[in-house]
Amino acid sequence: MRYKSFISTLAIALVSGACSFKPALDRLALPVAANFPGATEGVVPADIAWQKFFTDPRLKQLVETALANNRDLRIATLKVEQSRAQYGVSRSELFPSISGTAASNRQRNLGSGSSSGVTKTNNYALTVGFSSYELDLFGRVRSQNDSALEKYFASDEARVGAQISLVAEVANQYLVERALQQQVALSQQTLEGINAAYGLMKQRFDAGTVSELDLSSTEVQRQTAKADLAAFQQRIALINNSLTFLTAGALPVSLPPGRTLDQVIVADIKAGVSSDLLRRRPDIREAEHQLRAANANIGEARAAFFPSVTLTANGGMASRSFSNLFSDSTGTWLFAPHVNLPIFTGGRNKANLDASKIGKDIEIARYENAIQNGFREVADGLATRSGLAEQIAATVGLVAAQQKRAELANARYEQGMDSYFEVLTASLDLYSARQDLIQLRLAQAVNSVSLYKALGGGW
């Protein structure tokens, strides 16, 4: 009967912790406009997997390799595992830690208790129980556990953010490499044409039909093209080093051929989404979980003003004879509650509560700042995209016009109507216009990747 009373009392104590002083956290209003400026309706980028967003098979393989091997991403993943383990430690405090103890001792006493004056006794004990288990009457332990859980969620959002950033970085580096490859091809093509022109010009100069100025002008073109070609090849080597680092030195041996910038490398995204979808950005979700963790800390600080109750309880058997250890007459039990009432703490509890409230205000500001930063990134991306489309259309027309001009200048020079200076100027302007078109197409592709990242795409 006594055991039933003990078990009933223990069960009531374990389930009595239902009160919590953690304040309610209302949903915060977005400190930005309801919609992005200049947006159009379309598919939510966060629902487009990176495998569908990137259409270049070479880029897909690079991204896949980076996700599998990048060390920064591995560190972020391990931090999530560490945070989950820490949450497990915090959660364990909600339950009593039960342990068993077995002990025996042999004691020898000198006295008149026996004919020889020596008394020998044996003691055996076997107990099961717990000690210093805090009843969560005012939600201190549960608030602490909630804070650890939210920090775990925040670390996982940081991992997702690291994934998106890694994918975007690999894509941007690859796009630069594609642009450089086109610039190398353009420089080589230009150099071949200039070399042929220089050969003809040298023959004419030797024959005395052209001036040394015309020959020198052609040499200037040739050396300029050589210098550009060497610079572009150097930058390609640096970009390849960057891609090797991002993939942790594991560039695939046989990559499929890549596409050019005038082909489709990334899918077009319709960014016409409400700014409310910025809540899906991992950095904003991370800030929200950190805010919830700070809010839980207030509950823990408030609970410190109230009494805490800890329990020590055990039950078992004790006997002077091991053979009688498990007999009914040797049962023992202990139930010892301990109440700690804070009377004077020198202002420590009040200071902790104030610090927790300030910490929450800090996390609110960080949360709102993350939203505003995300909104700005998307708005900038949309403004840049519309401007780039117009610039590319104009530059395509400019390249065509410069091509026509170069052909006319060369024809007029061959007919003796103009000097070679006109041919040189037209050729350099055509070369510059083609380079500008490559750079604009690169900027357009990078802008699409930036928008995809800013809108939380991929995960």
DSSP state letters, 385-436:
HHHHHHHHHHHHHHHHHHHHHHHHHHHHHHTTSS-HHHHHHHHHHHHHHHHH
CA distances to 31, 127, 254, 329 from 322, rounded to whole Å, are 74, 14, 74, 13
> Would you say residue 165 has pLDDT above 70?
yes
Per-residue model confidence (pLDDT) at position 371: 87
> Would you say residue 443 has pLDDT above 90?
yes
Alpha-carbon gap, residue 225 to 188, rounded angstroms: 8
**16-25, 150-159, 253-262: which has the highest mean pLDDT?**
150-159
Confidence of residue 13 (pLDDT cuts 50, 70, 90): very low
Lowest mean pLDDT among 92-106, 244-258, 281-295: 92-106
Greater pLDDT, 275 or 242: 242
* pLDDT tens by residue, 21-44: 788 777 777 777 766 665 555 545
Lowest mean pLDDT among 18-32, 59-73, 433-447: 18-32
Using CB atoms within 10 A of its CB, is residue 86 exposed (0-12), middle (13-18) or buried (19+)? middle
Is residue 141 within 8 A of residue 17, CB to CB? The reply is yes
Lowest mean pLDDT among 163-177, 305-319, 337-351, 380-394: 305-319
**92-106, 273-287, 409-423, 440-454: which has the highest mean pLDDT?**
440-454
Per-residue model confidence (pLDDT) at position 2: 47
Alpha-carbon gap, residue 376 to 385, rounded angstroms: 14
Confidence of residue 211 (pLDDT cuts 50, 70, 90): confident
Alpha-carbon gap, residue 419 to 424, rounded angstroms: 9
> Would you say residue 420 has pLDDT above 90?
no
Confidence of residue 323 (pLDDT cuts 50, 70, 90): low
Confidence of residue 197 (pLDDT cuts 50, 70, 90): confident
Using CB atoms within 10 A of its CB, is residue 264 exposed (0-12), middle (13-18) or buried (19+)? exposed
Angle between helices 57-69 and 140-207 (to 10 degrees): 140
> Would you say residue 305 has pLDDT above 60?
yes
Give the residue among 230, 301, 273, 246 at the shortest CA–CA distance from 21: 301
**130-134, 162-166, 302-306, 454-458: which has the highest mean pLDDT?**
162-166
Say what the pTM is: 0.80
Say what the alpha-carbon torsion angle 51, 55, 60, 63 is, to the nearest 10 degrees: -70
Greater pLDDT, 44 or 234: 234
Q: State whether residue 304 is helix, strand or coil.
A: coil
- Find where tokens 């050396």 sit: 223
Tokens describing residue 448: 């699409």
The share of the chain scoring above pLDDT 90, in percent, equals 27
> Would you say residue 17 has pLDDT above 60?
no
Confidence of residue 6 (pLDDT cuts 50, 70, 90): very low
Confidence of residue 354 (pLDDT cuts 50, 70, 90): very high
Contacts of 312 (CB under 8 A, 6+ apart): 129, 130, 131, 132, 133, 334, 335, 336, 337, 338
Q: What is the mean pLDDT of the chain?
A: 82
DSSP 458: T
**Residue 187 corresponds to which amino acid?**
S
> Would you say residue 12 has pLDDT above 70?
no
Greater pLDDT, 274 or 298: 298
Confidence of residue 262 (pLDDT cuts 50, 70, 90): confident
- Find where tokens 């560039």 sit: 251
* pLDDT tens by residue, 373-412: 888 888 888 888 888 989 999 999 999 999 999 999 889 8
> Would you say residue 222 has pLDDT above 50?
yes
Confidence of residue 358 (pLDDT cuts 50, 70, 90): very high
Lowest mean pLDDT among 369-373, 384-388, 454-458: 454-458
Beta bridge partners of 121: 107
**Residue 119 corresponds to which amino acid?**
T
Contacts of 376 (CB under 8 A, 6+ apart): none
Lowest mean pLDDT among 255-264, 326-335, 393-402: 326-335
Is residue 127 within 8 A of residue 101, CB to CB? The reply is yes
Taken in order of first residue, the domains within the chain and their CATH numbers are: 2-94+137-306+344-454 (1.20.1600.10), 95-135+307-341 (2.20.200.10)
* pLDDT tens by residue, 88-128: 887 777 777 777 787 777 776 665 555 555 666 777 777 78
Give the residue among 298, 290, 287 at the shortest CA–CA distance from 24: 298
Per-residue model confidence (pLDDT) at position 277: 65
Confidence of residue 47 (pLDDT cuts 50, 70, 90): low
Per-residue model confidence (pLDDT) at position 242: 92
- Find where tokens 């991306």 sit: 381
457: left (phi over 0), alpha (psi -120 to 50) or beta: beta
Greater pLDDT, 193 or 282: 282
> Would you say residue 441 has pLDDT above 70?
yes
